[in-house]
Structure 1
Amino acid sequence: MSAEQPDLRARFEAAFMPNYGVPPLALARGEGARVWDLDGRAYLDLIGGIAVNSLGHAHPALVRAVSEQVATLAHTSNLYLHEPEVRLAERLLGLLGTPGRVFLCNSGAEANECALKIAIKYGKTHGRTYFVAAENGFHGRTIGALSLTGKASIREQFGPFPVDVRFVPYGDADALKSAVTAECAAVFLEPTQGEAGVVPAPEGYLTAAREICDATGALLVADEIQSAIGRTGHWFAHQADGFTPDLLTLAKGLGGGMPIGAVAGFGAAGTVFDKGDHGSTFGGNAVSCAAAHAVLDTIEADGLLAHVRRAGAHLAEGIAAIDHPLLTGVRGRGLWLAALLAEPKAAAVQAAAQRAGFLVNAVQPDAIRLAPPLVIGTDQIDSFLTAFPAILTEAANA
């Protein structure tokens, strides 16, 4: 390792708040599904900026769209409108296939904050006082989004919270039915729990959630911050699950690396806000909207939804075929998977993978998250599958 990486890490530690610790690797550039560190060493990027880099790194379509837009009109605030934001809202609704309204923001947490504000106003209008979310769910770290996040280790020190949220086991339809009454304003669920370790909903759970909300009048909010924009092989994961939420939150992969988030509201949920109820200075930024168009254009033109389904199945089947005492299985959808471990050795696997030239994420002590760019090639997947047994052995012996 050259002197540059330790020096940059030391500067990071001195200049930044300690909430991230110090990342173990300094990256200099990327191309496609590969990145290079400051020493010029290449890595296969199997985490994609946490399911953000849909088109990988330095994709020509994304570079061109961002460059042309920033040279034309970068920012207007919400005092004025511009064509890229209007067209993006129209396009998202077209892909969703359901009439609705859109709000654009900058991140997943902001999208969930917006959905929560809509649900709060809806609840006050209809005499509803509490919310329901899932244990181990993750919706963000801002106070409203954290209120909905069912992970005690990151919640407890920041309470009390501004809203009453009741948590139920994820996937338990009976528990959900018991928790949701006519006093419940909204139910917040991820179609697949991402930070919990890429945990898909049991079959029928999400349609049951839709029925429960219909019966009680509660709004159903689908958090698709990680799962949307082709990540599971569908534009939106809920489309494959056979239900339509009242509110849908998006971010991450929509911008392909540029910051953008969105909330889509359907039916009455799309018109809860009145003028002045919510806003975002940077929301709908023209450059981020141009990036989103490039992502959507490329997914369509290059047939990436079908590619994700094929490549994801190839990756999942390859992991499942590995016979290793540390590996117990694989779960997930499309190019959004978790390799499951027999022991809490995920951090050691992540470190061993990095040494072998692969970037993965220890999302849980016993689960390795894989969310590579949607453009990853089969040969690149095969290179990881070939190396993975030795990585597991090194981690097991650590």
Structure 2
Amino acid sequence: MATFDLQSILDAYGPDAGRDYAAHLNPRFHDLLRLVGFDRRFVRGEGPYLWDEQGSRYLDAIGGFACLSLGRDHPVLRDALEQSLRIAPPTLIQFETPPLAVALAESLKRFLDRPGDRVFFVNSGTESVEAAMKIARAATGRPGFAHWSNAFHGLTLGALSMNGAEWLRRGFEPLVPGCREVPFADTDALRAALADESVAAFFFEPVQGKGVIPHPPGVLREVAEICRETGTLLVADEVQTGLGRAGAALASRTDGVEPDLVCVSKGLSAGAIPLGAVLGSAAIFDRVFDSVERSVVHSSTFRENPLAMTNGLAVLHVLREEAIVERSARMGAALVAGLRDLAPTVPGIREVRGRGLMIGVELDPPALAIDMPGLANRTSTLVAQALVMRLLQRHRLLTQSTSKGSGVIKLVPPLVISEEDVDWIVEAFRESLVELARGRGAAVRGLIKMMRKAPGVVLREAVQ
């Protein structure tokens, strides 16, 4: 029998992974890592922490783009996956009713308190949005979709059609026709957009991921009423917010609404095995899968595979048994309070907002930097990146700015962080903001650091 040695592959490719990544995958992404100082090798991860080759410990507040809800290498999750590989239930028979899929659907409905729903499993968040788009069209007989400005629902073609960022859509048009963008939280504009009753569904994020922007109080209840009046399905994209990230099983319920369809993924996968789901009423699903012939009208090869189903079951088990949702709410409140208490004492924080452990720190660039000639439109980006770089290099804290041109630092650490980790984050922001504000030189320092890291990349990007 052939043998396989994974460790030897890691040892062979690890030291030069950056250079080889540029050669074989995406050189511009490697350039990005060089620019912001992320071109380093991490060799171990456990809980919310990473360790580099020198043995230094880092706190990860990027959390795999908010999917690492249980951190890395959770023992229950690891054991569950090892059990699945050892027991080896037959996989991907396709014409079957997999018992693990039944168990996960039942467990997910119970966890989210949606007992009357049906469940459709997918492999990712963007796939859940694409599936919800198809379900909405088939269930309503309508072609169109509506979404808020600044929305992010994924980067596959249908989901991208409801993306509020022009720079992400550019180069991929024409997108799905009939997608209407509505100014964020403008219910009068939404009512006008849905008035002709040609829109199948309105998609929303309970807290917008780009910028970490919650809805004003009462807005989503009014949105739900407008959707009911116009026969439009209300779809909650809880890919990022759901299953504890925003301090509740479903963030939309915090706003007092019960959507017709719910998309989940990141928190259900916990970063181990790709997994997502769409939940909706039996009445909606029965209008899609309405005959034996159409029982497979939407499907995919890898959905309901035993590893993914096992992973989801184990994640829900840990969320329940370790009270992770409650922990997220508690640690998130402590982190928001710590950062808000910090804001009046240091320059550079305009606002701290968020729910649970989905938190945005909006910077005040003029307090940290003077616009540089020819680069005034990039001040917010430079300031944010200067802060991200200092947090990483000085405090071993991984963070990100939320989007191109954004002055918002997003914090989405694993939901298992401790009070000590909260203090780690607050102190890192305190020291870094004080240092960067000296002489209002944050933008200059950010640019100088980038020039030192990758001068050719900076010069090439500056002329584009």
TM-score bracket, normalised by the shorter chain, equals over 0.9
- Structure with bigger gyration radius: 2
Relative to structure 1, is the Cα distance of residues 303 and 111 closer, same or farther in structure 2, using a 3 angstrom cutoff?
Answer: same
Unpaired runs of 5+ residues, structure 1, are: none
1:324 Cα deviation (Å)?
Answer: 1.8
- The corresponding residue for 2:392 is 354
> Which of 425, 428, 431 pairs up with 1:384?
425
- The corresponding residue for 1:294 is 314
> Which of 105, 121, 125 pairs up with 1:89?
105
1:158 Cα deviation (Å)?
Answer: 0.6
- The corresponding residue for 2:53 is 38
Alpha-carbon separation, structure 2, partners of 1:34 and 1:174 = 45
Residues 77 and 283, structure 1, Cα contact 8 Å, conserved in 2: no
1:245-264 equivalence runs, <5 A: 245-257=259-271, 258-264=273-279
Relative to structure 1, is the Cα distance of residues 85 and 38 closer, same or farther in structure 2, using a 3 angstrom cutoff?
Answer: farther
- The corresponding residue for 1:318 is 338
Are 2:17 and 1:8 aligned? yes
- The corresponding residue for 1:188 is 203
1:214-249 deviations in Å (ceiling 9; x for gaps) = 001011111001000111111111121111111111
Give the TM-score, by structure 2 length: 0.81
Residues 78 and 283, structure 1, Cα contact 8 Å, conserved in 2: no
User: Which amino acid in the other structure matches residue 86 of structure 1?
Assistant: V
* The structure with more helix, counted as a fraction of residues: 2
Residues 184 and 218, structure 1, Cα contact 8 Å, conserved in 2: yes
- The corresponding residue for 1:277 is 297
1:149 Cα deviation (Å)?
Answer: 1.2
- The corresponding residue for 2:328 is 308
Alpha-carbon separation, structure 2, partners of 1:278 and 1:146 = 20
1:291 Cα deviation (Å)?
Answer: 1.6
SS at match of 1:132: strand
1:92-103 equivalence runs, <5 A: 92-98=108-114, 99-103=116-120
1:6 Cα deviation (Å)?
Answer: 6.8
- The corresponding residue for 2:412 is 371
> Which of 197, 207, 210 pairs up with 2:224?
210
SS at match of 2:69: coil
1:385 Cα deviation (Å)?
Answer: 1.1
- The corresponding residue for 1:265 is 280
Are 2:251 and 1:237 aligned? yes
> Which of 148, 163, 171 pairs up with 1:149?
163
Are 2:145 and 1:131 aligned? yes
Deviates more, 1:347-356 or 1:312-321: 347-356
Alpha-carbon separation, structure 1, partners of 2:48 and 2:42 = 13
Query: Runs of 4+ in structure 1 displaced over 6 angstroms?
Result: none
Unpaired runs of 5+ residues, structure 2, are: 1-12, 290-294, 366-379, 446-464
> Which of 135, 140, 157 pairs up with 2:154?
140
User: Which amino acid in the other structure matches residue 96 of structure 1?
Assistant: L
Residues 77 and 285, structure 1, Cα contact 8 Å, conserved in 2: no
Relative to structure 1, is the Cα distance of residues 170 and 77 closer, same or farther in structure 2, using a 3 angstrom cutoff?
Answer: farther
Give the TM-score, by structure 1 length: 0.94
- The corresponding residue for 1:56 is 71
Alpha-carbon separation, structure 2, partners of 1:230 and 1:143 = 28
> Which of 364, 369, 373 pairs up with 1:342?
364
Alpha-carbon separation, structure 1, partners of 2:312 and 2:282 = 25
User: Which amino acid in the other structure matches residue 430 of structure 2?
Assistant: P
1:253 Cα deviation (Å)?
Answer: 1.4
Identity in percent: 38
1:4-23 deviations in Å (ceiling 9; x for gaps) = 97722111111103463443
Relative to structure 1, is the Cα distance of residues 231 and 337 closer, same or farther in structure 2, using a 3 angstrom cutoff?
Answer: same
RMSD: 1.8
